[in-house]
Amino acid sequence: MRHRENSAYAAEKGFTFACPAEKSGQEEFDFEYGDEFAPHIETFHPTFSKVLVRYNPEGDQALNRRQADRLKRLSDYLQAARRSLFMFELLVPAEKAQLDEVGGDKNAYDSKLRPRLMVETIKQLQSSGVEPDVWKIEGLDRREDCERILETARAGGRDSVGCIILGRGADEQKVRQWLTTAASVPGFIGFAVGRTDFWQPLVDWRDKKISRETAVTHIAREYRGFVDDFEGAVAGSPLL
């Protein structure tokens, strides 16, 4: 009941918030409430209905089809009901053959293979009728990869679709690089950084090494720094 009261208050006050629709921690996307997903969205009325999906276009094709079918159901419902926008968090885990191609180097997979696979995934899902309003994208090292992702996300008249860059729990330096790279591309509208910001302060507070106030201050200061980096890169973009 408390969750319903909080979400109703947030919606009434015009706050922006998202609610997940997926079962947490699953390798295959499925609805938390099965066929009853729609009433739960209507109860909470989030700004965004969010899904986290693991999808590799060169992976298990039967798995990909099952996921795409479920995601199309959600996409069709959200477009028809117009109760929430659709936020899609895309993870592209490496297949064994793909890792073998880069000698088992996960960083090489991220830089050399994952950008292409993300583009192909978005194309496949669009062809299946999955139409997010916002794509949450794993961090990318190169501006040109961000541009390709955005171009694909907006293909076919999808001009209002935006992208958000993810921190992936990486170290602070890497996250700042990803944020500033993405922010320089118009259409990347924000970021999602969690563990990089809050993990260590929470662990230190749990272990009674620091006070709650110190943990809160540290998290707020780090997050403010990420905001400044992102907004600074947007302001400095020659394309804006």
State the pTM of this model.
0.91
User: Which stretches of the chain score pLDDT less than 70?
Assistant: 1-11, 236-240
pLDDT at 231: 95
pLDDT at 225: 95
pLDDT at 53: 97
Break the chain into its structural domains and give their ranges: 2-194
Looking at the domain 2-194, which fold is it?
TIM Barrel (3.20.20)
The number of helix segments (H) and strand segments (E) in the chain equals: 10, 6
pLDDT at 238: 55
The whole-angstrom separation of Cα 130 and Cα 65 is 12
Q: What angle do helix axes 114-127 and 61-81 make, rounded to 10 degrees?
A: 60
- Cα dist. 80→43, 87, 131 in Å? 17, 16, 12
pLDDT digits (tens, 9 = 90+) for 18-60: 999 999 989 999 999 999 999 989 888 899 999 999 999 999 9
DSSP per-residue codes, 145-188 = HHHHHHHHHTGGG-TT-EEEEE-TT--HHHHHHHHHHHHTSTTE
